[in-house]
Amino acid sequence: MRAMGEQKEVLKVEKVTKKYASKEVVKEASLAVNEGEIKVLIGPSGGGKSTLLQCINFLVTPDKGRIWLEGKEVLHSQKKNLYEYRQKVGMIFQDFNLFDHLTALGNVEIALLKVRKMTKKDARDRAVAELERVGLRDHIRKYPAQLSGGQKQRVSIARALAMDPKVMLLDEPTSALDPELITEVHAVIKALGAEGMTMVMATHQIGFASHLADEMLFMEDGIIVETGAPAKLLLQAEYARTREFCAKLTGRYGETR
Amino acid sequence: MAKRILLFLVISAAMALTIGPAFSQDKVYVNGIDANFPPFAFVDKNGNPDGFDVKALDWIAKDQGFKVKHQPMDWDGIIPSLNAKKIDMIASGMSITDKRREQVNFSIPYYKITQVLVALKDSKLTVDQLLDQGNKVGVQRGTTEAKWIEENLIKKGKKNFSLLYYDSAPLAVEDVVNGRIAAAAMDDAPAKDAVKKKPVRIVGTFGMPDEDFGYAVRKADTELLDKINTGLKKLMACPYWQELKVKYELD
Amino acid sequence: MLEYLTAIGDALPYLLQGSLVTIALVVGAMALGLVIGILLAVGLVYGPPYIRALFSMYVWFFRGVPLLVLLFLFYFGLFTLVGINISAFTAAVIVLGLISSAYQSQIFRGGILSLPEGQLKAARALGMSDGKAICSIVLPQALRLSIPGWSNEYSIVLKDSAIAYALGVAEVMARAHFVASRTYQHLPLYFTAGVIFLILTYMGTKALRVLEERLRIPGYMR
């Protein structure tokens, strides 16, 4: 647990709802994240975790709900406002979504050049620094197809970090990885947490998440069912549904790491 | 690299589109010719327009003090091209007809042309036999002979033969040689040219009245027509006219 | 045989000059088709419904009307009506280009649609506008994937360009025709024209193959 000082609210999500056809995939989901906090979304697949995360930076447009970043409401229908907001919210995808035609360096550089309008030299220096930070100094010239899954995900983290995000959204960052590659990505995320990065992460890696999270949110059928400290949620959940899910998970994955 | 290629392509598109309208300031009249109509109009070995009409018009232009350039084009679209101002005149063995007079103005006539049938050299058939027995006869599309045969021999005369249309008279001759058609109907001057180059003979005329060739201009261009007429009269009175006829074997 | 060879030899320089006209026609038309084709493809994939409907109609029109009809329509009709006097060459480039743009748009559209959706998402997540995302992320990839289809389109436009002779553009086919009318050597001349087209097809597709290889993304298989 980190020190409780004055709490600065970085991200606030209020009653976000998303419907596909008639099915509500996310129902009135609300959450608030303070600076340096790490919140972890758990719950069964198809429970709406990924949609909620994508709603938060409007990759999926929510039908209802409001979102604030650092106390300012995001007006997503105003393009400029939306683009500025997205720059401050780093997004990590399950399947990396690296730009296949660009090298690792190019992937990190491109938004610095095209969005932040940095000079070539500044962008390069920054990109190299970020790639170094995730341990890929020797791979900056490689294309995504030449990298392992773990390395790809680290590039995507470097790509997000280069934009100086206020908060990072991680959508199951390791679930597309072979088991032996998960550790290297976890190490990077852990290091970010230690540096005080504010994060919201969806994951099935309960063991890893329980050590990292300040708070866990159990989400099922589009509803955030229950919220609490990891120990409480995993061992003494209020709701039966939560208990059932956690029992299955801890049974399957064990309390490793 | 990809960007440079893209840029190159964009620039070349822009260039291709601007090359066209880049005309010189000096007004140069454009004479549309059917380059498939020797000896009146054709392109020589080096690709330059040549022929009786080309040389005659060059002389007239020089005499009357205007500049002219010869533009080979498709015979089918040559009158639309004139009226769409793609070209300014047609000096290319064009027969003067009433129908055409509705669309363009003609100069004074300068050459009398007879339409003939061309068949294989060793063919024994007469004109009447060629235009009968279900034979096939070739003709250049868009010509006066094509129109005359349709109206007078097929519609009214009910002759038993079918008409095939070609892009040019030489192509029709080619098919005579190939044996695909029995005869080709065409002007006598190009027919004589064909006889020299292919194993064919001129069988004879087929009843179509003789026609006069004239140079065509747009109806509005009366000044140009005057110049052409004045020049043409002068040319026909001078020895060069005869020289041209000899050179292009029109006698 | 000797007669044929002499005929070909005599006409060859003139025909080869014509191949430059053919190349200019094709490069101009392909380039025009590329620029418009990209715009069409982007509009067809990402545009609002009315843009998609409009662009679909454009594609339908230029794919549906025969080339020769369009050539005459534009050359004698449209451009004359609006009072623009363009050369036969320019008219041929424009018409071939517009037709090709309709076909190219479908090639590029296929390229765009074959990209994973996540590419655009990731670009947006970085704060890129859709325009920027399309220009720097989607198109560089989609165009690479389109090269084989584009190479096919090149050989089609090349062959279609022969019809420009109907407007009097002195490209290879028109020249073969002119010389044959003078010399009555139709067979060897059309044969030569055919060979020139074959060589141009070969050179163009070869060049595009080299381009495809050079632009290939290392390690990337498809």
Do the Cβ atoms of A182 and A174 come closer than 8 Å? yes
Phi-psi region at A254: left, alpha or beta (left = phi > 0; alpha = psi -120 to 50)? left
| Domain, as residue range, for A102 | 96-164
The nearest CA of chain B is from the CA of C64 a distance in Å of 23
* Residue among B226, B214, B227, B218 nearest B86 (CA): B218
User: In the prediction, which pLDDT does A254 show?
Assistant: 47
- The closest CB to that of C119, out of A87, A99, A111, belongs to A99
A81 plus A138 within the same structural domain: no
Cα separations (Å) of B129 from A35, A38, A99, A188, B200? 105, 102, 78, 98, 17
Q: Which of C178, C183, C213 to mutate to test the interface with B (most CBs of B within 10 A)?
A: C178
**For A192-205, how does the pLDDT look when each residue is reduced to its tens digit (9 = 90+)?**
999 999 999 999 88
Does the beta-carbon distance from A114 to C136 stay under 8 Å? yes
Residues 6+ apart with CB under 8 A from B123: B182, B201, B203
Burial classification of residue B155, based on how many CB atoms lie within 10 Å of its CB (0-12 exposed, 13-18 middle, 19 or more buried): exposed
**For A20-37, how does the pLDDT look when each residue is reduced to its tens digit (9 = 90+)?**
988 889 999 999 999 999
| Domain, as residue range, for C42 | 2-215
Whether A77 is covered by a domain: the verdict is: yes
- pLDDT above 70 covers what percent of chain A? 94
In this structure, what CATH number is given to the domain that contains residue C141?
1.10.3720.10
pLDDT higher at A251 or C74: C74
Phi-psi region at B118: left, alpha or beta (left = phi > 0; alpha = psi -120 to 50)? beta
Sequential pLDDT tens for chain C (222 residues): 788 888 888 889 999 999 999 999 999 999 999 999 999 999 999 999 999 999 999 999 999 999 999 988 888 877 777 777 778 899 999 999 999 999 999 999 999 999 999 999 999 999 999 999 999 999 999 999 999 999 999 999 999 999 888 887 889 998 998 898 888 888 899 999 999 999 999 999 999 999 999 998 887 655
Do the Cβ atoms of C79 and C86 come closer than 8 Å? yes
Does the beta-carbon distance from B84 to C24 stay under 8 Å? no
Place of tokens 């099935």: A204
Give the start-to-end residue ranges of the domains of chain B: 26-112+212-247, 115-205
Whether C222 is covered by a domain: the verdict is: no
User: In the prediction, which pLDDT does C87 show?
Assistant: 82
Count of positions (residues) in chain A:
257
- What is the CATH architecture of B26-112+212-247? 3-Layer(aba) Sandwich (3.40)
What are the chain A neighbours of C212 within 8 Å (beta carbons)? none
d(CA C44, CA C36): 12
Give me the sheet containing A9-20, strands edge to edge: A23-34, A9-20, A64-69, A72-73
User: In the prediction, which pLDDT does B1 show?
Assistant: 61
Residue type, B189: A
Does the beta-carbon distance from C219 to A143 stay under 8 Å? yes
User: In the prediction, which pLDDT does A256 show?
Assistant: 44
Section B115-123 average pLDDT: 92
Whether C141 is covered by a domain: the verdict is: yes
Q: Cis link prior to B39 (omega < 30° from 0)?
A: yes
User: In the prediction, which pLDDT does B25 show?
Assistant: 53
ipTM of the complex, rounded to two decimals: 0.90
Confidence of residue A5 (pLDDT cuts 50, 70, 90): low
* Number of domains forming the structure of chain C: 1
A195 plus A234 within the same structural domain: yes
* Number of domains forming the structure of chain A: 2
Q: What is the dihedral of CA A152, A157, A158, A160, to 10 degrees?
A: 130
Place of tokens 């949110």: A217
d(CA A162, CA B144): 78
Do the Cβ atoms of B197 and C179 come closer than 8 Å? no
To the question of pTM greater than 0.90 for the whole model, the response is no
> Is the pLDDT reported for residue A253 higher than 80?
no
Helix axes of C172-183 and B169-178: crossing angle, nearest 10 degrees: 70
Do the Cβ atoms of C148 and C212 come closer than 8 Å? yes
The two tokens of residue C193 are 């024209």
The two tokens of residue C44 are 């067809």
A142 plus A105 within the same structural domain: yes
* Residue among A33, A41, A57 nearest A202 (CA): A41
**For B85-117, how does the pLDDT look when each residue is reduced to its tens digit (9 = 90+)?**
889 999 999 999 998 999 999 999 999 999 999
d(CA A191, CA B39): 90
Note whether B26-112+212-247 and B115-205 share their fold.
Answer: yes
- Give the number of other CB atoms < 10 A from CB of residue A142: 18
Query: Lowest-pLDDT range, A236-245, B30-39, C122-131, C209-218?
Result: A236-245
Helix (H, G, I), strand (E, B) or coil at A40: strand
Does the beta-carbon distance from C219 to A159 stay under 8 Å? no
User: In the prediction, which pLDDT does B2 show?
Assistant: 64
A21 plus A62 within the same structural domain: yes
A197 plus A81 within the same structural domain: yes
Whether C157 is covered by a domain: the verdict is: yes
User: In the prediction, which pLDDT does B45 show?
Assistant: 85
In this structure, what CATH number is given to the domain that contains residue A256?
3.40.50.300
Q: Which backbone phi and psi does A102 adopt, to 5 degrees? A: -120, 150
User: In the prediction, which pLDDT does C59 show?
Assistant: 97
Q: Identify the DSSP state of B1.
A: -
User: In the prediction, which pLDDT does C191 show?
Assistant: 94
- pLDDT above 70 covers what percent of chain B? 91
Whether A221 is covered by a domain: the verdict is: yes
A257 plus A219 within the same structural domain: yes
Q: Is B175 on the interface with C (CB under 8 A)?
A: no
Q: Is C69 on the interface with B (CB under 8 A)?
A: no
Domain B115-205: give its CATH superfamily: Periplasmic binding protein-like II (3.40.190.10)
How crowded is the C-beta side of B229, counted as CA atoms within 13 Å?
13
Does the beta-carbon distance from A93 to C132 stay under 8 Å? no
What are the chain B neighbours of C214 within 8 Å (beta carbons)? 1
